[in-house]
Structure 1
Amino acid sequence: MDTKTLEFVTYCISKLAHVLNMSQREVYQRLKQSGILYDYIVPSYDVLHTFSSRYLVENLTDYMREKGVL
């Protein structure tokens, strides 16, 4: 994972933690265990980083619900 992708992943985790009122560690664990982190966020960085933060959070929370981690 390159630096830009790592910064983006950190940003996503931080935003989700704030919106979901969870610790960043909890969000990270849920994303990792569900496969969202390495099967969706990391490989889709090129597209996802162009979205607004609001859309990004909505997209990721919807996906977390689909995966059963919310």
Structure 2
Amino acid sequence: MDNETLKFVTYCISKLAQVLKMSQREVYRRLKQSGILYDYIVPSYDVLHTFSSRYLIEDITDYMKEKGVLPK
């Protein structure tokens, strides 16, 4: 993972933690265990980093719900 992707992942985790009212550690754990982090966010960096912050967080939150990481 290059430096820009790492910064983006860190931003996503931080923003999700804020919106979901969870610790960053818990958000990271859920993203990693569900495969969302390394199967979606990291490989899709080129597209995802062009989204607005609001859309990005909604997109990831919706995906977390689909994967059962968050309640629907």
Per the alignment, in what secondary structure is the counterpart of residue 43 of structure 1? coil
Query: 1 CA distance for matches of 2:3 and 2:48?
Result: 16
Normalising by structure 2, we get a TM-score of 0.97
Q: Look up the equivalent residue of 2:58 and give its one-letter code.
A: E
Report how far residue 30 of structure 1 moved: 0.2
Query: 2 CA distance for matches of 1:33 and 1:56?
Result: 20
Matched, 1:12 2:12: yes
Query: 2 CA distance for matches of 1:52 and 1:2?
Result: 21
Gaps of 5+ in 2: none
Normalising by structure 1, we get a TM-score of 0.99
Q: Look up the equivalent residue of 2:44 and give its one-letter code.
A: S
Residues matched between the structures, number: 70
Q: Deviations over 1:17-37 (max 9, x none)?
A: 000000000000000000000
Query: 2 CA distance for matches of 1:23 and 1:61?
Result: 15
Q: Look up the equivalent residue of 1:35 and give its one-letter code.
A: G
* CA RMSD across the alignment: 0.2
Query: 2 CA distance for matches of 1:15 and 1:53?
Result: 9
Identity %: 86
- Please identify runs of 4+ aligned residues in structure 1 that moved more than 3 A: none
